[in-house]
Amino acid sequence: IRWWSRSLTGARWPRPLCAAAGTGAFSPAAITTTRRHLSSRNRPEGKVLETVGVFEVPKQNGKYETGQLFLHSVFGYRGVVLFPWQARLYDRDVASAAPEKAENPAGHGSKEVKGKTHTYYQVLIDARDCPHISQRSQTEAVTFLANHDDSRALYAIPGLDYVSHEDILPYTSTDQVPIQHELFERFLLYDQTKAPPFVARETLRAWQEKNHPWLELSDVHRETTENIRVTVIPFYMGMREAQNSHVYWWRYCIRLENLDSDVVQLRERHWRIFSLSGTLETVRGRGVVGREPVLSKEQPAFQYSSHVSLQASSGHMWGTFRFERPDGSHFDVRIPPFSLESNKDEKTPPSGLHW
């Protein structure tokens, strides 16, 4: 067994993909977007590496197909592509010729940003890797409303994620069940004549068709402040009646990425939530989802999901995250403003499978 000692960037393909035997771990602390390797320093004690597949050349153009196996370039988990989504990416880091102007109903200054089409994927996460990434990425990120009177009831589907095209490091495997997830064999069928050799079952096609309203992402917002990049993906979840009024629910997924080598820690969040009804709410608090994550060169990213409800069919959110440097100084990172839009057709709860 050979340890990886060189960056995969610029390496010759194919390359062996290894995991620590018995753990399912790729030592995510040693896998980053710029240098991905395993060394004896990162090796789980008492474990050896076993080959689980062979890397393929990442696609610069086009999209990955259903059944594509991959290693996540940031979080290091194994996964499989279920299907792609075409989203509109609003990247505020990209220079725009449009003049700056205050154009959103919340009244805060914002430059006009044009969206461009970008491919994201709905994927399954290998259950063996979930314990190793749980401190940096929620592995139950997809939630939905229950179909009953309790409008506050939220349910989670474990092991589902949304990944960007550039997050994917594709690989192949000779294993007929290379990903451990309760839905893998219910959604995908092994067919050695195909490439990739896993094709969608009718179960997957029916599930996607019935549930795409609350699964499908449409807009992605991104902005970088002092080398901390914030990406936000909002989802409309549906409307419920509560105390003779309508309550509209959204979930939003946020990824924080440290693009520098300096260690920083998230300390506070500051949200502004504007509702079409005319209300403007301010929310302040320590950390996010009960954590104050550290972003370092070894572990540069943190991802989480949360929810918001309004008594109006649309609104806006924006704000800042406050980070702390090792010397005790602080700086604020902008959260790109994003819209909370409801669809005209009311969404029904998930169907087609019993969770």
353 band by pLDDT with thresholds 50, 70 and 90: very low
**pLDDT value at residue 351:** 41
Mean pLDDT of 237-241: 82
| pLDDT of res. 153 | 60
Q: What is the pLDDT of residues 320-351, one digit of tens each?
A: 999 999 999 999 999 999 999 986 444 444 44
Residue 28 has pLDDT above 50, yes or no: no
Give 75-101 pLDDT, tens digit per residue: 999 999 999 999 999 999 984 444 444
The pLDDT value given to residue 75 = 92
Q: Cβ contacts of residue 236 below 8 Å, gap of 6+?
A: 214, 248, 249, 250, 340, 341, 342, 343, 347
What pLDDT, on a 0 to 100 scale, did the predictor assign at position 253?
92
**What pLDDT, in 10s, does the model give residues 272-301?**
999 998 999 999 999 999 999 999 999 999
pLDDT at 230 over 80: yes
Question: What distance in Å separates the CA atoms of residue 311 and residue 275, rounded to the nearest whole number?
Answer: 8
Task: Give the phi and the psi of residue 28 in degrees, each rounded to 5.
Answer: -55, -25
pLDDT for residue 18: 67
Q: What is the mean pLDDT of residues 243-269?
A: 93
Rounded to two decimals, the pTM is: 0.80
Task: Give the confidence band of 50 by pLDDT, cuts at 50, 70, 90.
Answer: confident
Sign of the CA dihedral running 34, 39, 43, 47: positive
- What is the phi-psi region of residue 320: left when phi exceeds 0, alpha when psi lies from -120 to 50, beta otherwise? beta
57 pLDDT higher than 90: yes
| CA neighbor of 261 nearest in space, from 326, 217, 350 | 326
Domains and CATH numbers, the chain: 52-94+115-217 (no CATH), 225-350 (2.60.40.1470)
pLDDT of residue 99: 47
pLDDT band at 49 (very low <50, low <70, confident <90, very high): confident
- Residue 209 — very low, low, confident or very high, per pLDDT cuts 50/70/90? confident
At 91, which amino acid appears?
Answer: D
Q: Per-residue pLDDT averaged across 246-256, rounded?
A: 91
Across the range 257-264, mean pLDDT stands at 96
- Provide the token pair at 155: 């349910």
Between the CA of residue 55 and those of 16, 172, 194, 207, 302, what are the distances in Å? 6, 6, 17, 30, 25
Q: Is 339 exposed, middle or buried (0-12, 13-18, 19+ CB in 10 A)?
A: middle
Tens-digit pLDDT profile for residues 63-73: 999 999 999 99
Q: Using 50, 70 and 90 to split pLDDT, how confident is the model at 145?
A: low
- Residue 134, pLDDT > 70, answer yes
- Is residue 3's pLDDT more than 50? no
pLDDT for 35 equals 35
The model's confidence at residue 225, banded by pLDDT at 50, 70 and 90, is very high
For the chain, what is the mean pLDDT? 80
Is the pLDDT at 7 greater than 60? The verdict is no
